[in-house]
Structure 1
Amino acid sequence: MKIVAKIAGASAVLIGLQGIAYAENTNDDKKEKVMRFSSLKVSGAQDNNSPQIEAMEKPGAYSSVGDDNKLQSIDSVLRTLPGTYTQMDASQGVGAVSVNIRGLSGFGRVNMMVDGVSQSFYGIAPNEFGHAQMPYNQFGAIIDPNFIIRTDINRGQADGSDSVNTLAGSVNFRTIGVEDVIFEGNNFGVRTKASYGTNGLGKNGMVAVAGKIQAFSPEGSIGAMLAVSGYSVDAHYKNGMGINSEEFGTDETFKQKPNSQLTKLNIKPNDFHELELSGRYYHNKFTKRHIDNSDYYLKYHYTPFSELVDTKILLSSSKGTQRTLSEMSGLGKAESHNKSHAIDIKNTSRFNYGDTDFSFTLGSKLMQTEYKKKTGIDLGPDETSTEDSNVFSPSGKQDIASIYSDFKIEHGIYTVNLGLNYLDYSLKGYKPACSNNDPCFPEGETQVSSKGRGFNPSILLSAEIIPEFQPFVSYKHSMRAPNIQEMFYFGGESSSVNPFLKRETTDTYEIGFNSYRPNLIVDGDAFRLKATLFHTKIKDYINGERIMFCRKGDKEVCQIDESLTKEEKNALDATFNTYIYKNNVTPVTTKGYEISANYDAGVFYSSLAYSKQKTEQPTSQLATVMGASSSSRLPSSYLTLNTGIRLLDENMRVGAIMKYTGQSYHQDYENDTDWDIKEKMVKDDKIPTIVDLYADYKINKHIFVKFSVQNLANKNYADALNRMNSSINVTSGDTISQTARGRTYVMGAEVRF
């Protein structure tokens, strides 16, 4: 009933605003109305750089990138952005991506979206090296890289519904649409792309077909698009030493041929109404499992002749299924299901008083996410496995209800953004009965229901003093609910379910500036710079811990860490031994600074992204021993420099990408099981500076060809935050630890007409 009341309340507000707009329009014959528009800033950048430039002109820690990926992988593209990284896990497959923002990743810590739809994928890759062959787990999104047309990153800013139930920020992948396929002025279009890479990359391609016709009115139209994409990726590759990955991390089940389909329908009766429907599908057979994922959404945009009404509605539904193709230890074949439904309604009103412009956004987002599993499939009658007593893919339901607002005030060179959102959450799931020896509460089996709520204020102040110096400062308080995998984790004992798990909260402070200088060196060039200093304190950080009885004959439990004395360790009673997620008593702090710069003189261009941070979150044996999400600690610093020249009337580009990575760390299995080791994060071997070369040529507006050499010097190293580096067979010394791909040649082309 509370959720229904919130929907009704949000709807009443929006309907009321619409009524005000109608009343103003009907009064036009009595009183002349004058409509004021805010000033428009036009970026004079190259088309393929426009997303990047837009983000650099926006106050706050924002980054964007278009589809000009220079044949780089989605992980490589995201790692070129300041404050942004990825959790690499080759066992999750092509299209599975997990974004890390300032050392935080996972469901709720980073809101990952595709076309504005929040993603809830939870990978369960079978892992022969894990304890009892438990799968590798990872939160993220499933998105075919060929469909991505733009990626927007928000680090630490309040941004409407994107900031609901999230700590570090958000990332939104926008997929190809009708207007991205059809040339302006045409009614039909085809857009294709294909590439082939050596050293195991294989081949991939996409075809998108779209049509658009006038309908309903002179301003109305109907447009439709169908896009299909497919990959064929080899199981193995070679590192810089020429050693086959089969020896350190892959097997024949890593060979994959994922395929995806995307449909969109745009209906625009007139300039007031616009409707878009979309369906997206993904299938892969990979690492002994079938992966199926689907997304559906309906978007409606209403913009009458009133600045008081700009209404947007988003309805979405997502579903994912993973089915193992072979039996796992004690589980038989298994299935994991996730589904999510959401509704997001908001309205923006714009008005002015004197020389001051105002903008007020009010909205509500409701989201329900559910995880289910099925185990024991095909086990014999004498050996059964139940869904409620194993660690595989925890089950439960999470409900999120929120109301959010943003009040923007612009006066002269000054802008103030005041934000406030209210979050109400609940989690429901099953807790098995305690065994005779378990120190847990409640003792009997029960359906757990946990609730929480809170207000999250934010403020952003900015000023356009001069083009070369546009400072901003911000503060944001945010919270996120525990997720199902944390509260209902089953670590071998019923006591590992923690119904008392609390929400995480953060306080983030930022100060920075944007800078723009045209004609810096030569006439017509442009230089842009964004610099940000940030400090985030996380309270009640959720982390997995190992616990035992403190001593025989006593049900008091102790957390297994370096705080125990030698005598306390010797007294531990392992008859009770489990893992549990709990709130960390000591706050976790992340801090650092980020710089992005861009210089474009037409014939010469260069862009730089640099991040330096300190992120030291608590570690957990759940990652190395039980396969849970791996450590998200970022390298101490990293830098990407992209520079090149344009030839042949700027239709040909030749450039290089230099990637520097500072000290990085991985979680070590051997150290995790040694109570005397205080530092469980082990320093990686020094990562060499990697250089990639690329060249592309736009023959005409229809044909675009590309070529790239990745890891030009064939360096032998391991990528930071690669799950493979923390696998038991690598950290135990049974195989080499240089797991990155060696020199690789990639060629591709795009055809559009």
Structure 2
Amino acid sequence: MNNKIIIMVAGTISAGFHGFALSENTQQTNKQKDDVVNFSQLKVSGAQKQTPLVKALEKPGAYSAVGTENKLQSMDKIIRSMPGTYTQMDASQGTINVNIRGLSGFGRVNMMVDGVTQSYYGISPSKFTHGMQPSNDFGSLIDPNFIVEVEVEKGQLNGSNSVNALAGSANFRTLSIDDVIFKDNLWGVRSKGSWGDNGLGYNGMVSVAGKSLLNEGDGYFGGLIAVSGHNIPGSYKNGDGFDTDEFATDPTFKQKPQSQLTKLKYKPNDSHEVEFSGRFLQNKLTSRKINSEDYYLKYKYTPINELIDVEVLASHGFNTQKFQGEPIGGALKDAESENKSDSINISNTSRFSYGDTDFKWQIGSKLMKTKYQKITKPVEDPNTITYNPFSPSGTQDIASLYTQFEAQYDIYTATFDLNYLNYRVQGYKPACDETEKCFPQEASTLNLRESGINPGVLVSAQIIPEFQPFVSYAHSMRAPNSQEAFFSQNGGQSMNPFLKGEKAQTWQIGFNSFKPDLVVEGDQFNLKALWFHTHIKDYITSKSFMLCRATSQEEFDWCLINDDVWDKENPDIFQRADMYVNDPRDVNLRGYELQANYDAGVFYSMVSYTKESGKQPVSINSTSVFSAGDFTQLPEYYVTLDSGVRLFDEKLTVGSTVTWTGPSKRISPIPDGDMNGDAMTEKYEKQPTIVDLYADYEINKHFKLMMAINNLTNENYTDVLNRANSGAVMEERGRNNETGRGRSYMIGGQVRF
């Protein structure tokens, strides 16, 4: 990897040197122009800026977005400020895990980085589970310092983003060359850093970019390299001063992740554009070494022809987790878990008109192959590996075709989506014991196959700026994951050869509202409000089954017809097997989402509101016995209010973020099932109001200072959807084990040249 980085650095420096030379000529030319005539610059206030938030509010449908480059808050807080969007928190993973409307995980939410689907499955050794089983969950290994924007799509289809995505998608856009270089410059440096107390630690990032103009300025060759590092203590104190090392963390949670980002871009003219990117991460966390490498190659062809707009995106990802010592209950010494993912996405967009109607038609195909593999050393007893849920191994192949057709006439817009998904999930199933009846009885390779057609439509009308209604319908589906199909707590007895994918239908109705000059001249008000209903069939969850270990047909018949055997605790004739199944119950999720933004330049305010009702089965494997995933149901409601003022010609910003969180639930630390076989849950009452203060001062375009006080009133509260809430040591709830961070102070700064 170091050689690759050196090559990238060389390319960036080369581009930078060319940029220095051409920059002088450009500056001389600009100076000559300035000698001829000078115009005063048009001042654009904060109220007139088309931020990611404003763009999403103006787009019909359930879209949300937020810019992150000027914020000191964690990615969890930033993402949770968007309606219908939350995060799964697990300090032992070192990842970002997005939850959309109560659903999370690979296939339920399509998490992407620069448009590339992420499939990392974290396996974190833990002493807070029964039997020292690891904590497991999906997430994205992305350094927050590289993220400049988060885009979320919920409940509607949108081309390749909706392939194998049940609830929606979340895309993290990373630094680009133009994010580093000031406009009209040919090279630039951008850096940031911050420090915080109470377990926040410190971090820093430096990025350098350069361009070399080609063809008399019609094209360019450019490069970017960025490096980032963090030092995170791992533990912190809650509002009552109790250290999380007493109930949720330990010294192995301390981490010092390092990341690198490189990009090369070649654009000879307006018709061709090629971009190559490499993103790397190294970390040591909870007795394992984590290494991640992600690459993509993007090509765009846009000739002077409205019928041709081709884009090709090919990617490769490779993640490894190397476990040190005997962290997995002492059973698998120095084990490894690997994840490889390859994909290619090809599309063309045509634009044309007929009469007074404008059309846009996109057609494309996406292929993706994801492989999970565990590597273990030889052990004396082979059953140690066969009867162990550590790192389920398997391959998932996705093949899809998609098309999107948009028609605009007068004030009306209709967008029709259609995608075809074909999947195959393949892996090894060990032979079942002779005393258990299963299918297939012998060792075999399981092939789970299915295909389906998913239609969607979004219709909107710009009746007046203040009322722009929209309505949408979408059918979506996702394939089972290898972790569900090949979970091996009881070897082959735990694997379901009949597991199917999930299907969902989502209806949405809402409206956008836009009003300039609402209170004062130059201000702007945006609003998006909607109602949604998602109906899910074949929901995948895990349940515990008691298997007959009969030595004869008579004994087998007896155990099937005698109910009183269930009254015995752990009868010899039975054996427990946890298996993923399609729940026969339909799942219905419905709710309201609202987001409003008012910006008058000197004053601004954003409010986000989510209220959701619904209940989905809770996987028995998500209890503290196996910790495979976590509880994902959103709080009954949550509200974020972000308000502030801009002073001294809008150079000083002072604001506050207030968060209200309603009643929520957690998985019971007692790992038992209810009458339906679901993991039992416990209810939390609504949380205290949390107030954060922040300020930033832009000295000039080169320097910015920032500060923040989180949890100003030092409230003692619980972070909703935090894995630690359900740990085996959390049976007795009290102020001594609330998982929310107490008051903390942060300072930071940015430097750009």
Same fold (TM over 0.5): yes
- Partner Cα distance (1:318, 1:678) in 2: 35
The residue type paired with residue 502 of structure 1 is: K
Structure 1 residue 385, shift from structure 2 partner? 6.4
Displacement after TM superposition at 1:241 (Å): 0.7
Tell me how far 1:658 sits from its aligned partner.
0.2
**Is the contact made by 1:374 and 1:387 (CA closer than 8 Å) also made in structure 2?**
no
Deviations 1:538-573 (A, max 9, x none): 000000100004797337999xxxxx9988545984
Distance 2:544 2:673 in 1: 10
Contact kept in structure 1, 2:427 and 2:446, CA below 8 Å: yes
- Report the CA distance shift for 1:190/1:199 in structure 2 as closer, same or farther (over 3 A): same
Partners of 2:599 and 2:735 lie apart in 1 by 46
Return 727-736 or 660-669, whichever deviates more: 727-736
CA 1:747 to 1:551, structure 2 compared with 1: closer, same or farther past 3 Å?
A: same
Partner of 2:588: 589
Label 1:523 to 1:557 Cα distance change in 2 as closer, same or farther (>3 A): farther
1:115 shift after superposition: 0.5
Deviations 1:602-625 (A, max 9, x none): 111100000000131111221111
Summarize the Cα distance change of 1:337–1:158 in structure 2 as closer, same or farther, 3 Å threshold: same
**Partner residue in 1 for 2:102:** 103
**Cα gap change, 1:679/1:186 in structure 2, threshold over 3 Å: closer, same or farther?**
closer
Superposed displacement of residue 731, structure 1: 2.5
Give 2:446's match in structure 1, choosing from 437, 445, 448: 448
Structure 2 counterpart of 1:490, from 488, 492, 513: 488
The amino acid across from 2:335 in the alignment is A
Post-superposition Cα deviations, 1:28-53, rounded to whole Å, max 9, x if no partner, equal: xxxxxxxxxxxxxxx98658761000
- How many angstroms apart in 1 are the aligned matches of 2:643 and 2:569? 61
Task: Please name the residue that 1:417 is paired with.
Answer: 415
1:744 deviation in Å? 0.2
Counterpart residue type for residue 392 of structure 2:
P
Output the CA distance in 1 between the equivalents of 2:134 and 2:725. Answer: 16
Partner of 1:500, secondary structure, is coil
Q: CA deviation at 1:255?
A: 1.0
Question: 1:555-704, aligned counterparts within 5 Å?
Answer: 568-570=566-568, 573=571, 575-624=574-623, 625-670=625-670, 672=672, 680-704=680-704
Kindly state the Cα deviation for residue 254 of structure 1 after the two structures are TM-superposed: 1.0
In structure 2, the partner of 1:24 is none
Residues 81-90 or 328-337, more deviating? 328-337
1:427 counterpart (417, 425, 430): 425
* 8 A contact 1:202–1:234 mirrored in 2: yes
Structure 1 residue 383 displacement after superposition: 5.3
How many residue pairs get aligned? The number is: 701
Q: Bigger shift: 492-501 or 526-535? A: 492-501
Distance 1:532 1:221 in 2: 43
Seen in structure 2, the aligned counterparts of structure 1 residues 544 and 533 have a Cα distance that, compared at 3 Å, is same
Q: What per-residue deviation string (whole Å, max 9, x for no partner) do you get for residues 468-497 of structure 1?
A: 000000000011011100011112232111
SS at match of 1:91: coil
724-733 or 148-157, which moves further after superposition?
724-733
| Separation (CA, whole Å) in 2 of partners of 1:409 and 1:258 | 47
Partner Cα separation in structure 1 for residue 150 and residue 714 of structure 2: 29
Q: Which moved more, 1:569-578 or 1:389-398?
A: 569-578
1:677 positional shift: 10
Q: Distance in 2 between matches of 1:666 and 1:117?
A: 32
Task: Give the structure 1 partner of residue 556 of structure 2.
Answer: 554
The answer on whether the counterparts of 1:671 and 1:677 sit within 8 Å (CA) in structure 2 is: no
The verdict on how the C-alpha distance between 1:123 and 1:633 changes in structure 2, with shifts beyond 3 A counting, is same
- Please list, as runs of the form range in 1=range in 2, the aligned pairs for 1:344-359 lying within 5 A after superposition: 344-359=345-360
Deviations for 1:121-143, whole angstroms, at most 9, x for unmatched residues? Answer: 00000012323311100111110
Structure 2 residue 59 is the aligned partner of structure 1 residue 58: yes
Identity, % of aligned pairs?
A: 51
Distance 1:551 1:372 in 2: 30
Q: Which amino acid aligns with 1:342?
A: S
Q: SS in structure 1 opposite 2:515? A: strand
Q: Secondary structure at the match of 2:51?
A: helix
* Higher mean displacement: 661-670 or 127-136: 127-136
Pairs within 5 Å for 1:318-467: 318-327=317-326, 328-329=328-329, 330-376=331-377, 382=380, 387-467=385-465
- Equivalents in 1 of 2:181, 2:446: separation in Å? 52
Task: Report the AA paired with residue 414 of structure 2.
Answer: V
> Which residue of 2 is the match for residue 509 of structure 1?
507
Q: Go from structure 1 to structure 2 and tell me whether the alpha carbon gap of 1:354 and 1:743 turns closer, same or farther (over 3 Å shift).
A: same
Q: How does 1:23-102 map to 2 (within 5 A)?
A: 50-68=51-69, 70-93=71-94, 96-102=95-101
Measure the CA separation in 2 of the matches of 1:219 and 1:668.
62
Cα pair distance change 1:131/1:333, threshold 3 Å: farther
> Would the alpha carbon gap of residues 49 and 726 (structure 1) be closer, same or farther in structure 2, given more than 3 Å must change?
farther
> Helix, strand or coil: the match of 2:139?
strand
Q: CA RMSD in A?
A: 2.1
Equivalent position of 1:523 in the other structure: 521
Q: 1:676 to 1:179 in 2, by over 3 A?
A: closer
CA contact (8 A) 2:191 2:752 kept: yes
* Paired position in structure 2 for 1:22: none
CA contact (8 A) 2:618 2:679 kept: no
2:737 corresponds to which residue? 737
3-state SS, counterpart of residue 104 of structure 2: coil
Question: Does structure 1 residue 719 correspond to structure 2 residue 741?
Answer: no
Deviation at 1:244, TM superposition (A): 1.1
TM-score (norm 1): 0.90
Q: Determine the C-alpha separation between the residues in 2 that align with 1:430 and 1:417.
A: 42
Q: Which deviations, in whole Å up to 9, do the C-alpha atoms of 1:658-699 show, x marking residues without a partner?
A: 000000100002262576998822112431010000011111
TM-score normalised according to structure 2 size: 0.90
The 5 A counterparts of 1:117-128 are 117-128=116-127
Q: Which moved more, 1:630-639 or 1:732-741?
A: 732-741
Equivalent residues of 1:549, 1:557 under 8 A apart? no
Compute the displacement of 1:333 (Å).
Answer: 2.2
Identify the residue that residue 561 of structure 1 maps to in structure 2: none
Deviations 1:316-368 (A, max 9, x none): 00010001112122222211100100000000000001110011000000000
Contact 1:301 1:311 in 2 (8 A): yes
Flag the 1:87–1:707 CA change in 2: closer, same or farther, 3 A. same
